Structure 1
Amino acid sequence: MSRLTLIESIFPRMVELRRTFHRYPELAFEEERTALVIMEELRRLDIPFEYGGVGGGIVGKITGQDDGPTIALRADMDGLPGDETTGLPFASVNPGRMHACGHDGHMSMLLGAAAMLKENPPPGRVVLIFQPAEERGGGAKVMIQSGALDRVKAIFGGHVMRQFRVGEIMVAHGTITAQSDKFTIRIRGRGGHGARPHEAVDAVVVAGLLIMAVQTLVSREISPFHPSVVTIGQVQAGTAANVIAEHAVLQGTIRTTERPVRRHIIEGLKRIAKATGALHNAIVDVEISEGYPPVVNTQQEAEIARLAALKVVGQQGLVPIDNPSMGAEDFAYYLKQIPGCYVRFGARREGWENIPLHSPAFDFDEEALKVGAAFFDEVAREAIRAYAQEES
């Protein structure tokens, strides 16, 4: 059976699975029902697997030849907090939870590829990693600790993106996502009556100055050739309209692609916070929580992914990635252990506007499931061929 015929035959099942995942999203480390659906499908395909229980992941294994190279393919399972506004007939029925980042599609793509690989096993082994908690908690580390990468030569993964059309795959080597760090700034002033500000130290005023000042870290201290972002996403202060706030808390994120730039921004954030506190006689503390490291695709594996993409979408569908995304992805933890490549799948239908990931209105064209499944199938075969030739 040709790849095209096989893809068309399994496409209805991929759509069914995607819609089931989408209807019942679960948050990080809570993916119980999601895991049951995946395991049921792997049993149907007669693919053996191991399950780490709720909070863990699923590792399926397709063995075509015991002494051939072992390749891993990864999909993430968790949804996001939020209330869906898509109006889809299969929209989330779990209040405050939705698949706003396409993980429902990633799981369905990998299960589709599993069906293709099972139908015609390659001369090696393929490990199917269904990972919890990509959005928070770094579920990739859970999979690594469980031994999911044992004997694995390289790993491949991908993500749907509505910035690009269905039938396009983005491949590049080097840094493709940013380091993400979280910061918390705690301000302690001196509370007082709103009518007598001279008797107090206003934490809201200090917070306002800091909100504006930290934006100069990127705009005035970092070269425009080094992509960087500092965003304050949460502000908490005050108890009443006529009370000068004694405390304020700012929380935000730092996104960088180079270690020296990251270090400069963190040091600058602490410097500005300390100086602003001294200026207004407030106590300002900065706490940095290290997030996911950058995803750095290795060159050989990016070339393998490029060749696989060419076979699936042709030259016209192969899109280079000129600049790294400032988003973060815990696929980076796998790439700190073994070589690999992370790609992006175009998922926008012709005529659709670009609704970003994590939006409550996010959806993608299900035709992208065919492209993702075909890519995962082909990249596993291409990698096994490449590594087998090196070993011969």
Structure 2
Amino acid sequence: MLTQIKDIAANLAPRLIEIRRHLHSHPELSGQEFQTAAYVAGVLSSCGLHVKEGVGRVGVVGELIGAGTDARLLAIRTDMDALPIFERTGLEFASRQDGVMHACGHDVHTTVGLGTAMVLAQLEPPLPGTIRFLFQSAEEIAQGARWMVQDGVMERVTGIFSVHVFPSIPAGVIGVRYGALTAAADDLEIIILGESGHGARPHEAVDAVWIAAQVVTTLQQAISRTQNPLRPVVLTFGQINGGRAPNVIADRVQLLGTVRSLHPATSETLPGWIEQIVANVCQPYGARYELHYRRGVPSVQNNMAMTQLLESAAVEAWGSQGVQIIHEPSLGAEDFSVYLQHAPGSMFRLGVGFRDRPNYPLHHPQFEVDESAIIAGVVTLAYAAYKYWQQSEHLLHS
């Protein structure tokens, strides 16, 4: 079966490059992927899949119905949105939308998802169970997965796979990570409320700027001494707003930040921990505060059995030299974690780095990918899907 999958994928290679370049030239921002979704739906329909559009607002679902001898349902999720970045790659197929770019590789993700559907639709004999392809919008704003789940895409799903490109891994190499792959990412807003006054008489006022500075400093120091260093927490304030004039003591300062953590138990304690510190800083100086902690997405926790299945598929397809075990998680976030709350699954890293020149990081205006990696992603996902039904249900959920 692996040989058949590789042969079909090789024959599709020119078409997949064409698809990827079309998607790259026509990027759309989160929640606005209307043309992308229509294009994806057209490709899926041409392969004989049952297609439903407008799922999760702008998402597309394509179902490849198997032989019906196995009741399990495998999902494969890819994302479609681009970023508000001006592209500076100089590629012939560079973005035609000023200020919008596929700088995170979602054009490749979508292509790999479509390629996997195209390969599996041609398999003989067909797979025994159904595969549900999820093409999701709005990953970059961490909303699309929730929209998809709210529309029922995880109903009856018994397992799920996903992929994310990685420029620091050479093209075609499959990066496998057991356990935590990405961090939980939450949004934090702290408003410090003081009393305004003349800059020459600070004792008659409550200086919200100075207290806000104490809050930022105290929180950063407290992480190193009150949080378990083996369970990392990163708190970054990226925006501070406050004050009206250089000689007027501010009565209000807004702090906006992001909170990242890897362990679910740690994540649960962070809102209370942060509020206690803020209260302890404000109280002695007569300041008040408002704290708004907004849960974002949880950490991606790759399931052991599903990850073993992915690794074995990749090793069989590309040899041990084509697989890289990832030993460190990322403190970036991924809303694939939302699907994992409903079924066991795993996301792998698809190497897209060039071997003969420097690679720009994700979200960079000169980010490029080695397109030879697309076939590696397609074959890995397609073969992992095939192997999913070769494993007993007991092993996959143990």
Q: Same fold (TM over 0.5)?
A: yes
1:37 aligns with 39
**8 Å CA contact 1:217, 1:268 repeated in 2:** no
Equivalents in 2 of 1:56, 1:134: separation in Å? 12
Q: Which residue of 1 aligns with 2:73?
A: 70
Distance 1:183 1:250 in 2: 8
Paired with 2:55 and 2:326, the residues of 1 have a C-alpha distance of: 37
Superposition map of 1:250-261 within 5 A: 250-261=255-266
Range with greater deviation from structure 2 (358-367 or 156-165): 358-367
Determine if the alignment matches structure 1 residue 163 to structure 2 residue 171: no
Provide the rounded CA distance (Å) in 2 between the counterparts of 1:113 and 1:122: 13
Shifted more, 240-249 versus 290-299: the winner is: 240-249
**Residues 137, 176 of structure 1: CA spacing in aligned structure 2 closer, same or farther, 3 A cutoff?**
closer
Shift of 1:130: 0.6
Amino acid at match of 1:256: S
The equivalent position to 2:156 in structure 1, one of 141, 147, 151, is 151
What is the letter of the counterpart of residue 93 of structure 1? R
Q: Deviations over 1:73-94 (max 9, x none)?
A: 1101112233333333333233
1:247 to partner: Cα distance: 1.7
Unaligned 5+ residue runs, structure 2? none
Contact 2:66–2:130 (Cα < 8 Å) also in 1: yes
Q: Structure 1, residues 324-371: CA drift from partner, whole Å, max 9, x if none?
A: 221221111211111111111111111343533223332222122111
Aligned match of 1:294? 299
Letter in 2 for 1:116: V
Structure 1 residues 359, 247: CA separation in 2 closer, same or farther (over 3 Å shift)?
Answer: farther
How do 1:114-133 and structure 2 match up within 5 A? 114-120=117-123, 121-133=126-138
**Bigger mean CA offset, 14-23 vs 303-312:** 14-23
* Partners of 1:273 and 1:285 within 8 A in 2: no
Match for residue 112 of structure 2 among 106, 109, 113: 109
Where do residues 1-392 of structure 1 align in structure 2 (5 Å cutoff)?
2-52=4-54, 55-68=57-70, 69-120=72-123, 121-387=126-392
- The answer to whether the 8 Å contact 2:55/2:61 transfers is no
Paired letter, 1:294: S
Report which stretch shifted further, 194-203 or 67-76.
194-203
Distance 1:277 1:390 in 2: 53
Which ranges in structure 1 are unaligned for 5 or more consecutive residues? none
Contact kept, 8 Å, 1:312 with 1:374, in 2: the verdict is yes
- Which is further off, 87-96 or 289-298? 87-96
Judged with a 3 Å threshold, the aligned counterparts in structure 2 of structure 1 residues 20 and 242 are, in CA distance, closer, same or farther, namely: farther
RMSD (Å) for aligned C-alpha atoms? 2.3
Counterpart contact for 2:56–2:144, Cα < 8 Å: no
Deviation at 1:198, TM superposition (A): 4.0
In the alignment, the residues of structure 2 paired with residue 53 and residue 226 of structure 1 have an alpha-carbon distance, to the nearest angstrom, of: 36
Determine helix, strand or coil for the equivalent of 2:360.
coil
Give the residue type in structure 2 aligned to 1:126.
Answer: I
Alpha-carbon separation, structure 1, partners of 2:209 and 2:368: 39
Any conservation in 1 of the 2:49–2:65 contact (CA below 8 Å)? no
Q: Distance in 1 between matches of 2:127 and 2:270?
A: 47
* In structure 2, distance between residues paired with 1:145 and 1:44: 27
> 2: distance between equivalents of 1:245 and 1:389?
62
Deviation, 1:106, is 0.3
Match of 1:274, SS? helix
Distance 1:203 1:308, change over 3 A: same
Which letter does structure 2 place at the counterpart of 1:283? R
Question: Residue by residue, what CA displacement relative to the aligned partner does 1:280-321 show, whole Å, maximum 9, x if unpaired?
Answer: 332222210011111112221111111111123211121112
Q: Which moved more, 1:332-341 or 1:193-202?
A: 193-202
- The one-letter code sitting in structure 2 at the alignment partner of 1:214 is L
1:281 maps to amino acid: G
C-alpha separation between the residues in 2 aligned to 1:83 and 1:134? 19
Q: TM-score, normalised by structure 1?
A: 0.92
Give the stretch that moved more between structures: 2-11 or 378-387.
Answer: 2-11
CA spacing shift, 1:12–1:237, aligned 2, 3 Å: farther
Identity over aligned pairs, percent: 37
Deviation track 1:13-40 (CA, whole Å, cap 9, x = no partner) reads 2222222222222222221011011012
Counterpart-to-counterpart distance in 1, 2:236 and 2:83: 20
CA contact (8 A) 1:27 1:80 kept: yes
How much has 1:390 moved relative to structure 2?
A: 7.5
SS in structure 2 of the partner of residue 85 of structure 1:
coil
Structure-2 change in CA distance of 1:356 and 1:44 (3 Å):
same
Displacement of 1:389: 9.6
User: How has the CA–CA distance of structure 1 residues 207 and 90 changed in structure 2, closer, same or farther, with 3 Å as cutoff?
Assistant: farther
Instruction: Give the direction of change, closer, same or farther, for the CA distance of 1:232–1:385 in structure 2 (3 Å limit).
Output: same
SS in structure 2 of the partner of residue 147 of structure 1? coil
After TM superposition, give the deviation of residue 273 of structure 1 in Å.
Answer: 1.3
